[in-house]
Structure 1
Amino acid sequence: MFSNHNGVLLSILCLCAISCTEVFGFSSVISVRNGGQWGKWQFPEHCPNGWIAFGFALKVEANQGTGDDTALNGIRLFCKASAVSTESHIIESESGLWGTWTSTQWCRNGFLKAFLLKVQHPQGNGDDTAANDIKFICSDGTVLAGHGQVWGEWGDQSGTCVKGISGIQTKVQSPQGDGDETALNDVRFFCR
């Protein structure tokens, strides 16, 4: 049986959820179902208020041959106030330790609105890489293919951020020492 205090507390929590969404400037989260199983969700990063992502870069480890591969290690989003703005702001949730950053890719006539993730299924005693690559869909329909690694399969497309992607949160496995490293396993994006 609920007391009046519990009802008031529930009402306050519901109002906070609504107003927190408005305060932080995002209304939903888009994700995919094929993300890797290892690691923990890291702190999210958001574009400045009212800005959205128009471009991205990836942190990718080159093929290690017989060594341990981690493939996709990080994702950076490049936020702008508008398509014609020359000022940009980089946001990045946690990234893995390995790899180098690719060149930035930009939507020519729009903003980032959806994505697909390429993920390798667990390999048992083999070399696990988890997330390998990402593709973003721009609001004009253009698909921007990342320059990640070759392993894994593409999953289904995420939902759509109609007003643009404005935040990122990554799921990253911390370094395992002598273990099999996977680094970035999954990602989700916040909508404006």
Structure 2
Amino acid sequence: MSSNHNGVLLSILCLCAISCTEVFGYSSVISVRNGGPWGEWEYRENCPKGWIAYGYALKVDDSQGSGDDTGLNGIQLFCKASADSTETHRIESGMGQWGTWTSPKWCKNSFLKAFILKVQQPQGYGDDTAATDIKFICSDDTIAKKGRVMARWGDQSSACEKGISGIQTKVEPPQGSGDDSALNDVRFFCR
């Protein structure tokens, strides 16, 4: 009898894995393969229902010279109901404690649909920074970008054809007297 219940439960879980994202209004997740190895996935935050991201800001730690660099510490997305809407809603996931926020950068008459992450590979005994920058590709195929120069760009993510509407970051907590890397990876949720 319990094996029948286990089979039904397994069938429900498989169906949910295939279609639950549609039930909750998100059709897919976009990510990249070059994210940093440290930290844990933080909380996920979504745009209000029906809204998508048209802009973003970055929390960036400037170069510390001979000190401990952390690079990219946080990402905020600015959601709107439409391109011409003046009302915005800011969303973010976990972030590092260092750095300052850049001014918002916007797609012009289009929305955020894909991204490329710049990540420094592990340095062994050197100063690890992990993620150092991000480029967003707008729906009109232009690039909305802020800039840092450390590390190497990875491959572009797949695209959210109807727009990015959620964010989740992977962040290493402060290491005390150890080497800090802060934001290591990010994934976005499609509308």
Provide the rounded CA distance (Å) in 2 between the counterparts of 1:117 and 1:181. 19
User: Aligned-pair distance for 1:22?
Assistant: 2.8
* Correspondence list, 1:1-192, <5 A: 3-17=3-17, 20-147=20-147, 149-192=148-191
5+ residue gaps, structure 1, are: none
Counterpart of 2:21, as a letter, is T
User: Structure 1 residue 18: deviation in Å?
Assistant: 5.1
Task: Name the SS of the counterpart of 2:108 in structure 1.
Answer: coil
Partner-residue secondary structure (3-state), 2:149? coil
Q: Which amino acid aligns with 1:137?
A: I
- How many angstroms does 1:15 deviate by? 4.0
Residues 127-178 of structure 1 show CA distances to partners (whole Å, capped at 9, x for unaligned) of 110000000000001101123x321100010000010001001000000000
Give distance in 2, aligned partners of 1:167 and 1:59.
Answer: 18
Structure 2 distance, partners of 1:154, 1:62, is 19
**Structure 1 residue identity aligned to 2:138:** C
SS of match in other structure, 2:5: helix
Please give the TM-score of this superposition, normalised by the length of structure 2. 0.95
SS of equivalent to 1:132: strand
Question: For 1:24 and 1:184, how far apart are their aligned partners in 2?
Answer: 27
- Separation of aligned partners in 1, 2:163 and 2:12: 29
The DSSP-based 3-state class of the residue aligned with 2:43 is: coil
Indicate if the aligned counterparts of 2:70 and 2:130 stay in contact, CA closer than 8 A: yes
Flag structure 2 segments of 5+ consecutive residues without an equivalent: none
Cα offset for 1:16?
3.6
Letter in 2 for 1:58: L
Q: Could you say what the CA RMSD is over the residues aligned between the two structures, in angstroms?
A: 1.3
1:77 alignment partner, SS class: strand
User: In the superposition, relative to structure 1, how do residues 18 and 50 fare at CA in structure 2: closer, same or farther (>3 Å)?
Assistant: farther
Is contact 2:44–2:166 with CA below 8 Å preserved after alignment? yes
Q: Check whether the contact 1:24–1:49 (CA below 8 A) recurs between aligned residues.
A: no
Identity of aligned residues (%): 74
Contact 1:116 1:155 in 2 (8 A): yes
Give the match's secondary structure for 1:42.
strand
Query: Would you say how many aligned residue pairs link Structure 1 and Structure 2?
Result: 190
2:117–2:153 Cα contact (<8 Å) kept:
yes
- 1:31-79 CA-to-partner distances (Å, cap 9, x unmatched) read 0111001111111111111110000000001111111000100000001
In structure 2, what residue type is equivalent to 1:124? G
Q: TM-score, normalised by structure 1?
A: 0.95
CA distance in 1, matches of 2:92, 2:110: 21
Give the partner amino acid of 1:47: C
